[in-house]
Amino acid sequence: MLLRNLLRRPTRTLLTLLGIAIGIAAIVTLVALSRGLVANYTQITSQSRSDVTIQAKQEPGQAITLGTGFDEGLLDKVRQMPEVKSASGMLYSLARVPGAPFFLVFGYEPDQPGIRKFKIKEGVSLAEYRGGQRGGKPMLLGSVAADKLNKRVGDTLKLEDTTFRIVGIYETGVAMEDAGGVVSLKDAQALAGMPRQVMYIGIQLYHPQRAEEFKERLARILPDDVEVAGTQVGNMMLEMLELLDIYAWVIAMIAALVGGVGMMNTMLMSVFERTREIGVLRAVGWKSRHVLAMILGESFLLSVVGGLVGLALGAGLTRLAANTPAMAGYASGKVPPTLIAQSLFTAVMLGLIGGFYPSWRASRLPPVEALRYDGGMSDGPKKLQVRIPSAMRNLARQRTRTVLTLVGVGIGIVSMVLVGSIGEGAVRGFNSMLATTEITAVERDQPDTSLSVIEERVLRRIEALPEVEYVTGVIISAVSTADAPMLLITARERTDPVMTPRILREGRLIQGPRECLLGFRAAESSSRRVGDRMVMLGTVFTVVGIVETGSPLEDNGAIISLHEAQKLLNKPNQVMAMQIKLKNPNKTDEMIARLSAEYPKLLFSKSAEFTENLPDMQNTEEAINAIYAMAVLVGSIALMNTMIMSVFERTREIGVLRAVGWSRNMVLKQILGESLALTLTSGVLGVALSYGLTKLMQNLPAMGIYRDMFIITPKVVGQVITSCLFLGVIGGLYPAWRATRFSPVEALRYE
């Protein structure tokens, strides 16, 4: 019976299933990809083949990086311990490779057991390589990377400025490792700019069962910045990656909620249509609970089928996404069993919640009133309008349905506004940090701007040009503290023109070592004052001043001296970005062209346009566009469902309009007008609600660095309104076309 009831309106049922399926597919795809990243990172850093692992201490206030290095001299001390069978050092870093946005390079000692997990499929291992091929240092390439880059044994691959010769193709079964490459520890240290440093030491014991006793003895010889750990579970980078899981769930649940609202809409309309039928069932003895169970059962069936379809669709999209050039090797194409259970549970809960009110309403219908129901489907008295009715008047006939559609589409609109606003806020935040100069430069083609390296001697050469007033360097890093999950640290020279008394709210500027300035917003949220101490980059700093720079990033973060950051981040005489102040700002374009020709490895941009040109921001823009597309897709399905319901219930009315002279174009315009009215109303309400939410978040200290980054700009509003218009056309086009196909005679006979 349940299936037969749902198949009465196959188009509506199909659209409802599709709405739920897309929501569940979004959950499966986004969450599976984020969990794949976390799982890959954990597999790499856990050193599972070792009995004991040594790593740098990961304490609050240390930089959020791929890994922290420590002196490899510790390797010799560990190897001299009688319990140790072998000890292998490892280091890894990101490198630039044409054709791969992210490429991980692993550094191992060729003659140590740690490298043996890289099973050679073709060629030889690093230890077996004896030279003989012309040019390049030896390198092993993962099977995924070899396919993606179309490389084979004997080919060369350039990493940064160093050419490597591929001597072997390996496979480990860990996607992130198979999408990278392996070089000797010494070569990896040179690539990463970390001479004589390792990130992990994996130790194998003669008697693994005595590992706990060994750890106690090992702890006595370890320096203060190194600790014993079984895995990297407490690592801050892993914690940041796990935040992706939360982010993925939030974005995916938006789509699922829209599908759930569509479910409620469908079931409610089903109840309206079947009012007399329900009255008959009640008259022949059905109890309220039987009616409740029937409607809930239909909702449950819809949600389960939609969930299963969504799982299949999500699994396919996950595999497809994991094999794209940008994600290949960095995310698993598998859906974890726990995620399958969570997704199905979400689908069922959406079905039960979406079906509860319609089923409750159906169970409360008195049999006598239900039997007298005339088949109309409006929430109140309805009069046939022969002349052209306004779009809003038609929508008001079914207030409940219209409100549910507004809510469903509005959820998508709010998500679009908030995501777009934080993207705009990030652009404005970074640009405001650089507003004092005309030109900003970073290292070209870095997938992550934090990896940009510019030698200070380049700054001095550019500063010597007659057209240049001054050049200053900047380093930006992020740390996790007890007060904030991510605190942005800006390192500037003490002579930087930004560092003037005018930015002070209280205290003084930096004068000595281990001193910092704290943005006034960060000071408020952490309740810190001048004279307080805080741990950043593994070092205790004294707050000597509270500042207001006008940049939301700096006002929610901290400022330290450039020299201090270079020492703590192991970037001697290096900066991440440089700012160039010209004597004549009118020559900015000419100077950018000249510097770009002289320094082809650097990316020069106008400071006002700098952030938009970064690969990081371009990737963010693509992610925002993807969220927009998802919101439009799910919203258009919900809207199409609503408009089809409207067309069905007004079939006879459309027949009357056609009989009195309305053309098909007039009917088309009428239905499309109602669809656009719905989406534009949702857009206006969504923008208004988003504006209120941004004001609320801006006043929440717990938001930290993000609270000043929610900025609703005319650009964001324009994008959302454009999306609403597009959504209205897409969602209303098929129902409008269907309405124009009604024959007047058949429509007038419609029951």
Q: What is the mean pLDDT of residues 453-471?
A: 93
Residue 726 pLDDT exceeds 50: yes
Percent of the chain clearing pLDDT 70 (strictly above): 78
Same domain, 193 and 335: no
Residue 134 pLDDT exceeds 70: no
Residue 710 CB-density burial (10 A; 0-12 exposed, 13-18 middle, 19+ buried)? buried
What are the phi and psi torsion angles at 274 (to 5°)?
-105, 25
| Residues contacting residue 674 through CB under 8 Å, at least 6 positions apart | 391, 394, 395, 643, 646, 732
pLDDT single digits (tens) 99-115: 666 788 999 999 888 88
Task: For residues 202 and 651, give the distance between their C-alpha atoms in angstroms, rounded to a whole number.
Answer: 74
Same domain, 659 and 683: yes
Most confidently predicted of 308-317, 399-408, 707-716: 308-317
Consecutive H or E run containing 90: strand 84-97
Same domain, 596 and 621: no
Tell me if 649 is assigned to some domain. yes
Task: For residues 693 and 295, give the distance between their C-alpha atoms in angstroms, rounded to a whole number.
Answer: 36
Other beta carbons within 10 angstroms of residue 517's beta carbon come to: 30
What are the phi and psi torsion angles at 518 (to 5°)?
-120, 130
Q: What is the mean pLDDT of residues 589-601?
A: 93
CB 69 within 8 A of CB 56: yes
Boundary of a domain, candidates 230, 260, 275: 230
Same domain, 734 and 717: yes
Using DSSP, state whether 154 is helix, strand or coil. coil
Using DSSP, state whether 55 is helix, strand or coil. strand
Q: What is the mean pLDDT of residues 11-22?
A: 75
Same domain, 283 and 409: no
Domain of 684 in residue numbering reads as 387-432+615-751
Boundary of a domain, candidates 560, 588, 609: 609
Alpha-helix runs per DSSP H in 274-329: 275-283, 288-322
pLDDT on residue 746: 65
Question: What is the rounded end-to-end Cα distance, in angstroms, of the chain?
Answer: 22
Tell me if 462 is assigned to some domain. yes
Q: What's the per-residue H, E or C state across 490-526?
A: EEECCCCCCCCHHHEEEECCCCCCCEEEEEHHHHHHH
Residue 231 pLDDT exceeds 50: no
pLDDT band for position 329 (cuts 50, 70, 90): low
CB 442 within 8 A of CB 605: no
Same domain, 566 and 592: yes
Helices then strands, counting H and E runs in the chain, come out as 24, 24
Tokens encoding 495: 């002579």
pLDDT on residue 381: 43
Same domain, 694 and 748: yes
Residue of 383 and 318 predicted with greater confidence: 318
Residue 291 pLDDT exceeds 90: no
| Residues contacting residue 236 through CB under 8 Å, at least 6 positions apart | 58, 62, 64, 480
Residue of 499 and 291 predicted with greater confidence: 499
Q: Tokens 């003659």 belong to which residue?
A: 111
Residue 6 pLDDT exceeds 70: no
pLDDT on residue 388: 38
Same domain, 594 and 630: no
Tell me if 176 is assigned to some domain. yes
Length of the chain: 751
Q: What is the CA radius of gyration of the chain?
A: 32
Instruction: Note the pTM of the prediction, 2 decimals.
Output: 0.70
pLDDT band for position 377 (cuts 50, 70, 90): very low
Tell me if 95 is assigned to some domain. yes
Same domain, 672 and 705: yes
Same domain, 138 and 261: no
Same domain, 5 and 100: no
Distances (CA, A) of 51 to 172, 214, 222, 268, 439: 19, 10, 17, 61, 52
Residue 175 pLDDT exceeds 80: no
Same domain, 106 and 135: yes
Q: Tokens 């794949």 belong to which residue?
A: 36
pLDDT band for position 82 (cuts 50, 70, 90): very high
How many distinct structural domains can be found in the chain?
Answer: 4
Angle at 577 between CA 574 and CA 583, to 5 degrees: 110
Tell me if 178 is assigned to some domain. yes
Task: For residues 673 and 732, give the distance between their C-alpha atoms in angstroms, rounded to a whole number.
Answer: 8
Q: Are strands 574-575 and 454-455 parallel, antiparallel or unpaired?
A: antiparallel
Boundary of a domain, candidates 213, 230, 247: 230
Residue 389 pLDDT exceeds 50: no
Tell me if 473 is assigned to some domain. yes
Tell me if 87 is assigned to some domain. yes
Q: Are strands 439-443 and 52-56 parallel, antiparallel or unpaired?
A: unpaired
CB 84 within 8 A of CB 205: yes
Tell me if 382 is assigned to some domain. no
Q: What distance lies between CA 643 and its chain's CA centroid?
A: 33
